[in-house]
Amino acid sequence: MKAIKKNKATGSTKYFRFRSWFAKGDRLQKELEEKEKIKRQLSTFVKYAPGAIAMFDKDMQYLMASDSWYQDYKLSEDEITGRSHYEIFPQILDMPHWLKYHQEALSGKSISVEKDEMTGSDGSTIYLKYRIEPWRDHNNEIGGIIMFTENITEQVNIQNQLQENQQYLKDIFDHSSLGICLVDESGKLFMVNDRMCEIVGYPREDLTKMNFTEFTHPEDIEIDLQLFNNLKNKEISQGSIDKRYISKSGKISHVKLHASVINDPNSSARHALVLVQDVTEEVKANEASKVANEKFETLNALMEKTWEIAQMGSWKLDITSQKVEWSKTIYQIHELEENIEIDLDKMKSFIHRKDLTLVNEALDQAYESGCDWDLDLRIITKTGRECWIRFIGHPIIKESQIIGIEGLIKNVDQIKKINLELTELNAMLEHTVDQRTAQLEAVNKELEAFAYSISHDLRAPLRAIEGFSSALKEDFDEELDRSAKHYLQRIQDNTVKMGDLIDDLLEFSRTSRSVANPQIFNLKEKLENLIEEMEIPPKYQIELINISEAYGDPRLLTQVFQNLLSNAVKYSAYEETPVIYIEQTSRDDGYEVSISDNGIGFDMRYSHQLFKIFQRLHSDDEYEGTGIGLALCQRIVQRHLGKIWAESSPGVGSKFTIFLPNNTDNNEVPSTKKMSHT
Element holding 446 (H helix, E strand): helix 413-475
pLDDT digits (tens, 9 = 90+) for 232-262: 998 999 999 999 999 999 999 999 999 999 8
pLDDT digits (tens, 9 = 90+) for 396-424: 998 889 999 999 999 999 988 888 888 88
pLDDT digits (tens, 9 = 90+) for 261-280: 988 777 777 889 999 999 99
* Residue-level pLDDT at 18: 53
Residue 624: which residues within 8 A CB-CB, separation 6 or more?
497, 570
- Average pLDDT for 115-129: 84
- Give pTM, 2 decimals: 0.34
Element holding 79 (H helix, E strand): helix 77-80
Give, in degrees to the nearest 5, the angle at Cα 427 between 423 and 428.
115
Backbone angles phi, psi at 69, to 5 degrees: -60, -45
Greater confidence, 648 or 174?
A: 648
| Spatial separation of the C-alpha atoms in residues 667 and 676, rounded to whole Å | 18
> Is the confidence at residue 667, as pLDDT, over 60?
no
Backbone angles phi, psi at 661, to 5 degrees: -75, 160
Which segments within 137-232 are labelled E, that is strand? Answer: 142-151, 179-183, 189-192
Greatest mean pLDDT among 25-34, 187-196, 296-305 lies in 187-196
Which segments within 588-673 are labelled E, that is strand? Answer: 590-597, 643-649, 653-661
* Single-letter amino acid, residue 52: A
Backbone angles phi, psi at 96, to 5 degrees: -55, -35
| Spatial separation of the C-alpha atoms in residues 518 and 508, rounded to whole Å | 19
SS3 402: strand
SS3 640: coil
Residue 98: which residues within 8 A CB-CB, separation 6 or more?
92, 116, 118
- Give 285's DSSP letter: H
> Is the confidence at residue 318, as pLDDT, over 80?
yes
| Spatial separation of the C-alpha atoms in residues 180 and 409, rounded to whole Å | 33
Pairing between β-strand 579-587 and β-strand 541-545 as defined by DSSP bridges: parallel
Q: Which of 214, 187, 203, 188 is nearest to 312 (CA)?
A: 214
- How many C-beta neighbours within 10 Å does residue 79 have? 13
C-alpha 142: how far from chain center:
43
Whether residue 241 contacts residue 228, with contact meaning beta carbons closer than 8 Å, is answered with no
Report DSSP letters for 485-509, one per residue: HHHHHHHHHHHHHHHHHHHHHHHHH
Q: Which of 663, 667, 670 is nearest to 636 (CA)?
A: 670
Q: Estimate the share of the chain in helix, then strand, then coil, as percent rounded to the nearest 5.
A: 50, 25, 25
What radius of gyration, in Å, describes the C-alpha atoms of the chain? 41
pLDDT band at 112 (very low <50, low <70, confident <90, very high): very high
* Residue-level pLDDT at 161: 86
For residue 147, the number of C-alpha atoms closer than 13 Å in the C-beta half-sphere is 25
> Is the confidence at residue 663, as pLDDT, over 90?
no
SS3 510: helix
Report DSSP letters for 26-49, one per residue: HHHHHHHHHHHHHHHHHHHHHHT-
Element holding 296 (H helix, E strand): helix 288-310
Element holding 405 (H helix, E strand): strand 401-411
pLDDT digits (tens, 9 = 90+) for 176-215: 889 999 999 999 998 899 999 999 999 999 999 999 999 9
Angle between the N-to-C axes of helices 554-571 and 523-534, in degrees from 0 to 180, rounded to the nearest 10: 50
Exposed/middle/buried for 499, CB within 10 Å: 0-12, 13-18, 19+?
Answer: middle
| Spatial separation of the C-alpha atoms in residues 118 and 120, rounded to whole Å | 6
SS3 554: helix
* Residue-level pLDDT at 300: 47
Exposed/middle/buried for 472, CB within 10 Å: 0-12, 13-18, 19+?
Answer: middle
- Average pLDDT for 339-365: 94
* Residue-level pLDDT at 13: 57
What strands, in cross-sheet order, belong to the sheet with 312-318? Answer: 342-343, 323-326, 312-318, 401-411, 386-398, 373-380
Which range is least confidently modeled, 236-245, 538-547, 600-609?
A: 600-609
